[in-house]
Amino acid sequence: MADVDGLQVMDAIIEHRIDTCVIVVSGDVSIDSAISALRHGAYDFLRKPYEPDELLLKIENALIKRRLEKENKAMNLQLGESERWYRYMVNSSPDIIYTLDGNGRFTFLNDRVEPLLGYRKESLIGQHYSALVYLEDLESARYILNEKRVGDRASRNMELRVRHNIESKLLTLEFSSFGMYQEGVTDQPARHVGTYGVAKDVTERKKAEQIISYQAYHDQLTGLANRILFKDHLDLAIAQAKRNQKMLAVMFLDVDRFKVVNDTLGHVIGDNLLKKVASRLKGCLREGDTLARQGGDEFTLLLPQIEDREDAMRTAEKMIKSFDVPFQIEGHELYVTISIGVALYPADGEFIDVLIKNADIAMYDSKAKGRNRYQLYSGNMNVSFAEKLSIEMQMRKAIDRKEFQVFYQPQICVSTGMISGMEALVRWSSPLHGSLSPLEFIPLAEETGLILSIGEFVLRSTCKQAMLWKNAGLPPMRMAVNISSLQIEQDGFCDCITQLLQEYHLDGSMLELEVTEGALLSDGEQMIAKLKMLSSMGIKIALDDFGTGYSSLSYLQKFPIDTIKIDQSFVRGLPSDPNNVSIVTAICAMAHGLKMNLIAEGVEKPEQLRFLHSLDCNEAQGFLFSKPLPGNEITGLLMRNGPLAPPAFYSGQSESNIQTHRVG
Ligand SMILES: Nc1nc2c(ncn2[C@@H]2O[C@H](COP(=O)(O)O[C@H]3[C@@H](O)[C@H](n4cnc5c(=O)[nH]c(N)nc54)O[C@@H]3COP(=O)(O)O)[C@@H](O)[C@H]2O)c(=O)[nH]1
């Protein structure tokens, strides 16, 4: 180039930002010219004359340098990019991300801390975590935010309450924390340098959990403790009283004639009254006492620490007196009284259920003595009367409280061992009286008329269960239900049965009604007409407990009876008791003669079954095959679809060789 020298070229390269590498080849050998070239951005300088290899080496070096520069630049770009990503991700995390130094001071916080806790993150850097954590949770915080232990012993997750900076509220954060350790020099343990972790806002979840747990332990209407919480408190109080050799009192309270208020003024006023009753009773109590609603108009009270029985009596008197003032509800002035029963620990019982039950018995005693009073439990009390009254009251509420359940007991075809039917048997689990046998409550249910609703519940449950089994593809099966005479006598009984069969899409032949001899005789002509009507719908009629009552052959012909059930009291003595043998033999012969189906109840032993088999008894039922079981357990049995009595029963093999299929 004639008009420009090399330095000018380099200036132009710089000026135009040309990305290249310049090697200056010059005849000027002075050091100044070399310095000047380098100052103008030359990468290298080569003096003339030079060897070609010298130039090649410089070019190669220049190329290597350029490649390294490019790679470095790309790497920096990538680093910058991933740094931006990392910041973006950390800062847009829905949770707080933090690091703390070994002294528990924040060294890093992501942006989330500001919207969540109202702190600028800069203001927290260098601050100790105690600036955030609620005072009561500081001790726990120490474990997770300054955790120096390693491995399984280290605390990793913990919920802590944290203060909001601006709003006066506490948030619950779930901390997941990890210790940071610096590797030590050989043989030295790693040094704890701090903690890093994530804190998630679980305030709403916590609130929901608290609501759920509150609802599980409190009565929704009155806000009082419910039975579960009451029993919990009583359990604790008994343990404490035992340790300190102290007394405690349990009271059962019932609003007198509450039903009248409910029935005449309606449920809304009834509910309002219960709320006011609850708060008036609470007004008579001390802080540590527990007042609970058992359900309906029943309350229980625990006085965990009393010196003597007079203490309990004074509280009971105070509560009764507080009802002297009428309740004002929606313009109604209601004069209400309460009856109270008191049981004392340890004199009247040492266990939860005994104390509550005895307080309940004492309460019924005070009702019997005229209401609006309290009564201390006494062993001499007319327990049977009070208990009967108590069972009756509990039974009235048991259906709504879903305390009844229907169990099923298989009936077996004696010749094949296969299930031929199921008998539905009601069970009642009362929170106050425990598991009661139908023998304890069915007679009372009949006496009080409650058998009507219990009976309907059993019929409905059985039909529903039959439908479920049918829908599950199991073969249709006869379902036997015990029916009390009161049910049959009720107007509309046949309609009710028809409706249930329709509702659950069942054929009449799937249902068998078990009636007792006594029931048949209770309402002569009407009864015959109704049973005939049911029979015409395909419904089977079984005569239960045969042999224990009148055993009149005339009604076997008058009534449309399909099945005779030999009472278990005759089966029990088979085959050794000659009386039982004669009676069962006669019943079998009679049933065969009348072409009736025959079921033997209460079969418990293989030899009883063998004997019944020898008499050609059609079916058997008893613990030998299965106890009455809940529907879901019977489902498994039905699915197995095998005999419950294997042929070995009949072959006379020794009992030890017989494989029983007993269940339940
Ligand atoms: N009106 C209604 N009466 C009902 C209803 N549910 C039951 N009952 C009647 O209560 C009586 C007692 O019944 P439960 O305690 O259920 O006893 C039944 C079986 O568990 C029992 N059983 C069966 N197998 C054996 C056995 O091998 N040994 C043995 N010791 N007991 C056994 O027998 C009872 C069967 O009763 P049933 O066939 O009806 O005679 C009872 O009279 C029931 O009828 C109901 O819903 N309504």
Tell me which residues have their CB closer than 6 angstroms to ligand 1.
409, 423, 425-426, 437-439, 442, 455, 458, 482, 484, 514, 544-545, 568, 601-604, 621-623, 628
In-domain check, residue 1: no
Q: Looking at the structure, tell me whether residues 30 and 150 fall in a common domain.
A: no
pLDDT tens string 628-660: 999 999 999 899 888 887 656 655 444 443 344
pLDDT tens string 309-353: 999 999 999 999 999 999 999 998 898 999 999 999 999 999 999
| Ligand 1 centroid, distance to 482 Cα (angstroms) | 9
In-domain check, residue 297: yes
Phi, psi of 60 (to 5 degrees): -60, -45
Phi, psi of 334 (to 5 degrees): -110, 120
Q: Looking at the structure, tell me whether residues 47 and 148 fall in a common domain.
A: no
Which residues, in sequence order, are CB contacts of 309 under 8 Å at separation 6+? 247, 249, 344, 376
What is the distance between the alpha carbons of residues 62 and 64, in angstroms, rounded to a whole number?
Answer: 6
| Ligand 1 centroid, distance to 586 Cα (angstroms) | 23
> For residues 497-520, b (16+ Cβ closer than 10 Å) or e, as one string?
bbebbeebebeeebbbbbbbbebb
pLDDT of residue 348: 94
pLDDT of residue 293: 97
**Which of 188, 208, 228 delimits the end of a domain?**
208
| Ligand 1 centroid, distance to 424 Cα (angstroms) | 9
In-domain check, residue 604: yes
pLDDT of residue 642: 80
pLDDT of residue 153: 62
Q: How sure is the predictor about 4, in pLDDT bands with cuts at 50, 70 and 90?
A: confident
Query: Residue 577: which H helix or E strand, with range?
Result: none
Average pLDDT (5-22) is 87
Kindly report the protein residue whose alpha carbon is nearest to atom 14 of ligand 1. Answer: 438
pLDDT of residue 364: 87
What spatial distance separates the first Cα and last Cα of the chain, rounded to whole Å? 111
CATH number for the domain including 80?
3.40.50.2300
Contact between residue 315 and residue 328 where contact means Cβ atoms under 8 Å apart: no
Average pLDDT (572-594) is 91
Which ligand 1 atom is at minimum distance from the Cα of 604? 27
Residue 113: pLDDT over 70: yes
Q: Looking at the structure, tell me whether residues 417 and 339 fall in a common domain.
A: no
pLDDT tens string 417-437: 999 999 999 999 988 888 989
Q: Looking at the structure, tell me whether residues 576 and 446 fall in a common domain.
A: yes
pLDDT of residue 482: 97
**Which of 208, 234, 263 delimits the end of a domain?**
208
Q: Which amino acid is at 530?
A: K
pLDDT tens string 242-254: 999 999 999 999 9
In-domain check, residue 385: no
pLDDT of residue 657: 39
CATH number for the domain including 118?
3.30.450.20
What is the distance between the alpha carbons of residues 532 and 71, in angstroms, rounded to a whole number?
Answer: 101
Contact between residue 627 and residue 396 where contact means Cβ atoms under 8 Å apart: no
Q: How sure is the predictor about 115, in pLDDT bands with cuts at 50, 70 and 90?
A: very high
* This prediction's pTM: 0.57
Q: Looking at the structure, tell me whether residues 179 and 232 fall in a common domain.
A: no
pLDDT of residue 2: 60
pLDDT of residue 129: 94
CATH number for the domain including 423?
3.20.20.450
Average pLDDT (150-159) is 72
Count of domains for the chain: 4
pLDDT tens string 240-296: 999 999 999 999 999 988 888 887 888 999 999 999 999 999 999 999 999 999 988
| Ligand 1 centroid, distance to 30 Cα (angstroms) | 125
Q: What percent of the chain has pLDDT over 90?
A: 62
Which ligand 1 atom is at minimum distance from the Cα of 406? 46
Q: Looking at the structure, tell me whether residues 145 and 222 fall in a common domain.
A: no
| Ligand 1 centroid, distance to 229 Cα (angstroms) | 35
Kindly report the protein residue whose alpha carbon is nearest to atom 32 of ligand 1. Answer: 602
Residue 84: pLDDT over 60: yes
**Which of 178, 208, 238 delimits the end of a domain?**
208
In-domain check, residue 389: no
Mutate to test the pocket of ligand 1, among 427, 601, 644 (most ligand atoms within 8 A of CB): 601
Token pair belonging to 361: 């018995």
| Ligand 1 centroid, distance to 394 Cα (angstroms) | 21
| Mean model confidence pLDDT for the chain | 89
pLDDT of residue 99: 94
Average pLDDT (473-492) is 92
Residue 375: pLDDT over 90: yes
199 bridge partner residues: 96, 175
Residue length of the chain: 664
Closest CA to 423 of 513, 535, 321: 513
pLDDT of residue 481: 98
Phi, psi of 123 (to 5 degrees): -70, -20
In-domain check, residue 406: yes
Classify the complex by whether its ipTM is higher than 0.95, answering yes or no. Answer: no
Q: Looking at the structure, tell me whether residues 570 and 619 fall in a common domain.
A: yes
Which ligand 1 atom is at minimum distance from the Cα of 628? 20
pLDDT of residue 647: 57
Which ligand 1 atom is at minimum distance from the Cα of 409? 23
Q: What percent of the chain has pLDDT over 70?
A: 93
Q: Looking at the structure, tell me whether residues 520 and 623 fall in a common domain.
A: yes
CATH number for the domain including 336?
3.30.70.270
Q: Which domain holds residue 147?
A: 93-208
What is the distance between the alpha carbons of residues 303 and 553, in angstroms, rounded to a whole number?
Answer: 62
In-domain check, residue 390: no
Token pair belonging to 67: 């490649």
Average pLDDT (528-536) is 92
Q: Looking at the structure, tell me whether residues 304 and 159 fall in a common domain.
A: no
What is the distance between the alpha carbons of residues 336 and 327, in angstroms, rounded to a whole number?
Answer: 8
Cis-peptide, bond into residue 346, ω within 30° of zero:
yes
What is the distance between the alpha carbons of residues 637 and 409, in angstroms, rounded to a whole number?
Answer: 11
Q: Looking at the structure, tell me whether residues 193 and 327 fall in a common domain.
A: no
Query: Residue 294: which H helix or E strand, with range?
Result: strand 290-295
Q: Give the three-class secondary structure for 182.
A: strand
What is the distance between the alpha carbons of residues 250 and 234, in angstroms, rounded to a whole number?
Answer: 8
**For 144-153, 368-377, 618-627, which range has the lowest pLDDT when averaged over its residues?**
144-153
| Ligand 1 centroid, distance to 566 Cα (angstroms) | 13
Q: Looking at the structure, tell me whether residues 190 and 241 fall in a common domain.
A: no
Q: Looking at the structure, tell me whether residues 502 and 645 fall in a common domain.
A: yes
Average pLDDT (35-59) is 89
Q: How sure is the predictor about 217, in pLDDT bands with cuts at 50, 70 and 90?
A: very high
Closest CA to 625 of 604, 642, 610: 604
Kindly report the protein residue whose alpha carbon is nearest to atom 3 of ligand 1. Answer: 482
| Ligand 1 centroid, distance to 400 Cα (angstroms) | 23
pLDDT of residue 60: 93
Token pair belonging to 477: 């099966």
Which ligand 1 atom is at minimum distance from the Cα of 438? 10
In-domain check, residue 387: no
Mutate to test the pocket of ligand 1, among 395, 406, 425, 453 (most ligand atoms within 8 A of CB): 425
pLDDT of residue 382: 59
